[in-house]
Amino acid sequence: MTEIQAPKGVPEYFPPRSQAFLRVREALSAPAEHAGYEYVELPVFEDTALYVRGVGESTDVVSKEMYTFEDRGGRSLSLRPEGTAGVMRLVIEQRLDKGQLPVKLWYAGPFFRAERPQLGRYRQLQQVGIEAIGVDDPALDAEVVALADEAYRRLGLRRYVLHLTSLGCATCRPAYRELLQQFLAGIDLDDATRERATLNPLRVLDDKREEVQRQLVNAPVMVDHLCVECRTHYDDTRSFLRDMGVRWEEAPRLVRGLDYYTRTAFEFTHELLGAQSGIGGGGRYDGLMQSLGGDSLSGIGFGLGTDRTLLACEAEGIELGGAPRVEVFAVAIGDDARHVAARLLTEFRACGVNADMAFGSRGLKGAMKAADRSGAPIVLVIGDDEVAASTIQVKDMATGEQAAVSRAEVVSEVHARLGRLA
């Protein structure tokens, strides 16, 4: 029988690396929670029309990369390629925008794109995202950018760069779009790229081919053609970022991969990740809610790549092991001792201590090997003598010291020892 393997392009995380993955995901979401963002759980698949209308039919995400299928009722559904459109649909449907504004939400989980797999580019990618909806305020733009920056700094990352620009609005972008199309009409492009220039000329600026980039050196950039309101908004956003201690590089040619972005746009890249250097990004999307049938409310958010951030941490040699998986490990020899150990584990776990024991018919030597592999700093040894005397042998694995402690006092004694080790 042929061995069944995981689908191509889908990373799996298992011990010990899965612990590092969890640490990254927690670090990416923690700043948002501290800033008052509340968690939402989104569907893994949605009506395909949500992404066609929300993300943009001309984007590679919709036109080439979505996993789309028809259900038994003949409805076209797609695995979610990104999170913002789904959050916006949720806000509209559940009328979250009728309460206090801004609506501040965060989410995490897998997203799906049918891309050519390589290191850092996956068909199932993990992200942490936030969305702040309902208030057009440069200070909110700055907060969203600063929360992403804080998340990376919280992990200890240093070799990343924040790229920042403004993509204009419905007032100033049409004139710039026409100017850019005129420029693109005068350079040598293949048929597919020229068609893209007709649908969405900004996407051409994101073309990675060297022969295209050489011709784009003198192309006009949006940041030089902002209207007064957009210029003021961008200046104010940067002023708030300075207040928050965030450093960035101006990126006038930055183009996000989704059509809904307006005004503030940003991307974080890491210099050690090669071609797939983007570790997160986002921007403002002022017309998205209205395009999906809701009110005309503004919004800004980001998506931070959990997979790529983990790769960045590993590239910088950042230790993400965290606290021991097990803090207390019980070695029980004999049936009566095993029952004592089971009761002790229940007590420790009830008060928040990670506890485990040696299972199976092991002798003392084998059970102590299991204790050592667990990484627990404290091991409890229980045999017939300990059961008879109502004591527990408490062993410090770092020093090798071992002492008998009464059964009634062992929980408080272990708590005290763990406090000293912390």
pLDDT of residue 422 exceeding 60? no
Place of tokens 């004139």: 175
Confidence label for 318 from pLDDT (cuts 50, 70 and 90): very high
Given 315, 347, 374, the domain boundary residue is 315
Cβ-proximal residues to 352 (8 Å cutoff; 6+ apart), any chain: none
Say how many residues make up the chain.
422
DSSP 65: I
In a domain, 207, yes or no: no
Do residue 386 and residue 407 come from a single domain? yes
User: Which amino acid does the sequence have at 234?
Assistant: Y
CATH number of the domain bearing residue 103: 3.30.930.10
Do residue 129 and residue 250 come from a single domain? yes
In a domain, 32, yes or no: yes
Do residue 130 and residue 240 come from a single domain? yes
Do residue 306 and residue 338 come from a single domain? no
Lowest-confidence range among 266-275, 341-350, 361-370? 361-370
Given 271, 289, 315, the domain boundary residue is 315
Measured between its terminal Cα atoms, the distance across the chain in Å is 50
Confidence label for 172 from pLDDT (cuts 50, 70 and 90): very high
Query: Edge-to-edge strands of the sheet including 68-70?
Result: 45-47, 76-79, 68-70
Do residue 372 and residue 263 come from a single domain? no
Mean pLDDT of 120-142: 96
Nearest to 84 by CA among 140, 145, 127: 127
In a domain, 189, yes or no: no
The model carries a pTM of 0.88
Quick one: tokens of 202? 């900004």
- Residue 258's pLDDT is 62
In a domain, 276, yes or no: yes
| Average pLDDT along the chain | 91
In a domain, 121, yes or no: yes
Which residue pairs, CB below 8 angstroms and at least 24 apart, start in 7-11?
A: 7/123, 7/124, 8/117, 8/123, 9/115, 9/117, 9/121, 9/122, 9/123, 9/124, 10/122, 10/123, 10/124, 11/122, 11/124, 11/307
pLDDT of residue 336 exceeding 80? yes
pLDDT digits (tens, 9 = 90+) for 256-304: 766 678 899 999 999 999 888 999 999 999 989 999 999 999 999 999 9
pLDDT of residue 194 exceeding 90? no
DSSP 2: P
Do residue 341 and residue 377 come from a single domain? yes
Place of tokens 């965290």: 322
- Asked if residue 151 lies in contact with residue 281, where contact means CB atoms within 8 angstroms, the answer is no
Quick one: tokens of 92? 């509209």
- Residue 58's pLDDT is 63
Mean pLDDT of 63-67: 85
DSSP 121: B
Do residue 353 and residue 304 come from a single domain? no
User: In this structure, are strands 299-305 and 278-284 parallel, antiparallel, or unpaired?
Assistant: antiparallel
Do residue 335 and residue 250 come from a single domain? no
Report CA-CA distances (Å) from 37 to 80, 138, 205, 285, 348: 22, 18, 34, 18, 33
- Burial class (CB within 10 angstroms; exposed 0-12, middle 13-18, buried 19+) of 116: exposed
Question: Which has more pLDDT, 391 or 59?
Answer: 391
* Number of domains, the chain: 2
In a domain, 185, yes or no: no
pLDDT digits (tens, 9 = 90+) for 99-108: 999 999 999 9
Do residue 297 and residue 355 come from a single domain? no
Confidence label for 362 from pLDDT (cuts 50, 70 and 90): confident
Domain span holding position 249: 17-172+226-315
Mean pLDDT of 153-173: 94
CATH number of the domain bearing residue 339: 3.40.50.800
Nearest to 374 by CA among 396, 358, 398, 385: 358
- Asked if residue 88 lies in contact with residue 301, where contact means CB atoms within 8 angstroms, the answer is no
Apex CA 162: angle with CA 127 and CA 172, to 5°?
Answer: 95
Do residue 294 and residue 387 come from a single domain? no
In a domain, 299, yes or no: yes
Do residue 90 and residue 239 come from a single domain? yes
Q: Which residues are registered as beta bridge partners of 250?
A: 164
Given 284, 315, 346, the domain boundary residue is 315
Report CA-CA distances (Å) from 214 to 183, 208, 210, 219: 14, 10, 6, 10
Nearest to 168 by CA among 176, 160, 156: 176
Q: What percent of the chain has pLDDT over 70?
A: 97
Do residue 121 and residue 33 come from a single domain? yes
d(CA 247, CA 307): 24
In a domain, 215, yes or no: no
- Residue 116's pLDDT is 87
- Identify each DSSP E strand in 134-231 by its residue range: 160-166
